Amino acid sequence: MKLLEIQNNMLEIAIMFDKFCTEHNLEYSICGGSLIGAVRHKGFVPWDDDFDVVMPRDDYDRFLKCWKEDNRFALIKVGDHNYYKPATPAKVYMKGTRVAEINELANGMPEFCPYGIFLDIFPVDEYPDNFLGNFCNKYIGKLVLAKSMSQFHLKNKGVVFRNLVKLLRLVPEKLVNSIRDAAINYVKQKASTTSKTFIGYGVETPFTNLKIDKSAMWPAKQEFVINDYIFKGPQSAETYLTCRYGNYMSLPPESMRFQHIVKVKHIDE
């Protein structure tokens, strides 16, 4: 399947997601490469093959509860059978498709992921700007991801990294999940009682290069165009993108311009 066709399918999922959120009064914002695409290219980044959105924690939790599958789209999330990609806590994907992503087979993972052409959904947490809040933001997601990756041989990774991750095979998954849940609850409770906070990717995600004021993110504005469709984005896209990417208007080196989906297959579900 060609990149343009993948992008068109992802756009179809994103339009459905936008309408679903509007119908259920759920807040969201495009983010990551999708926001760069809207700002810099007025569409997709030419080589990009994913679509990224974030939701405030409460809206993310409500989305998981009110989602209803239909004959075209399905939801897969952390905790579901065979889902090993906790770096993205939830995905909505196109039924009847499966994707193979770069380097996964070489690292011992299944050739095809347990989902198809997708939209990535990330929770966003409001953290107390103290030692524990910053610790939860920086390290809990890395622990969750490393525990999931420890089931694979990861031969394409460095020896030191592989051995450190292998040690986590000895740690019960229930313990890691308990630590994750306790950290999420701490952040929720503490952020509601302190005035000094920051917005960052959800506790369970390994991404730590976002630390901005809540007012720069929410409420989202409906003014970001991707291929003629208007999506919601941050109050200050400049603040978000500068924090995450620095000079986001400059193109990356050619060596960094590649797609992650290397194969798409169609199946009967």
- On the 0-12 / 13-18 / 19+ scale of CB atoms within 10 A, 178 is exposed
Which top CATH class is 3-125+201-266?
alpha beta
Residue 92 confidence class, pLDDT cut points 50, 70, 90 = very high
Distances (CA, A) of 101 to 106, 132, 162, 263: 10, 35, 20, 7
Predicted confidence at residue 106, as pLDDT, reads 93
Mean pLDDT for the chain overall: 96
Distances (CA, A) of 22 to 206, 232, 235: 28, 10, 18
Q: CA–CA separation, 10 vs 4, rounded Å?
A: 10
Predicted confidence at residue 228, as pLDDT, reads 93
Predicted confidence at residue 89, as pLDDT, reads 97
Query: For strand 118-128 and strand 52-56, is the pairing parallel, antiparallel, or unpaired?
Result: parallel
How many other C-beta atoms can be found within 10 angstroms of the C-beta atom of residue 232? 18
Question: 39, 32, 47: which is closest to 224 by C-alpha?
Answer: 39
The phi, psi pair for 184, rounded to 5°, reads -60, -45
Q: What is the mean pLDDT of residues 40-49?
A: 96
Predicted confidence at residue 83, as pLDDT, reads 95
Q: Is the pLDDT of residue 31 over 80?
A: yes
Q: CA–CA separation, 263 vs 101, rounded Å?
A: 7
pLDDT (tens digit per residue) in 51-73:
999 999 999 999 999 999 889 99
Q: Is the pLDDT of residue 1 over 90?
A: no
Q: Where are the domains of the chain?
A: 3-125+201-266
Q: CA–CA separation, 207 vs 52, rounded Å?
A: 13
- Could you tell me if 96 and 268 are in contact, meaning their C-beta atoms sit under 8 angstroms apart? yes
Predicted confidence at residue 69, as pLDDT, reads 85
158-173 CB burial, b ≥16 within 10 A, e <16: eeeebeebbebeeeee
pLDDT higher at 269 or 200: 200
Question: 119, 260, 132: which is closest to 185 by C-alpha?
Answer: 132
3-class secondary structure, 119: strand
Question: 75, 58, 88: which is closest to 116 by C-alpha?
Answer: 75
pLDDT (tens digit per residue) in 219-266:
999 999 999 999 999 999 999 999 999 999 999 999 999 999 999 999
Q: What percent of the chain has pLDDT over 90?
A: 96
Predicted confidence at residue 257, as pLDDT, reads 95
Q: Is the pLDDT of residue 269 over 80?
A: no
pLDDT (tens digit per residue) in 123-154:
999 999 999 999 999 999 999 999 999 999 99
Q: Is the pLDDT of residue 81 over 90?
A: no
Q: Is the pLDDT of residue 162 over 90?
A: yes
Q: CA–CA separation, 174 vs 147, rounded Å?
A: 11
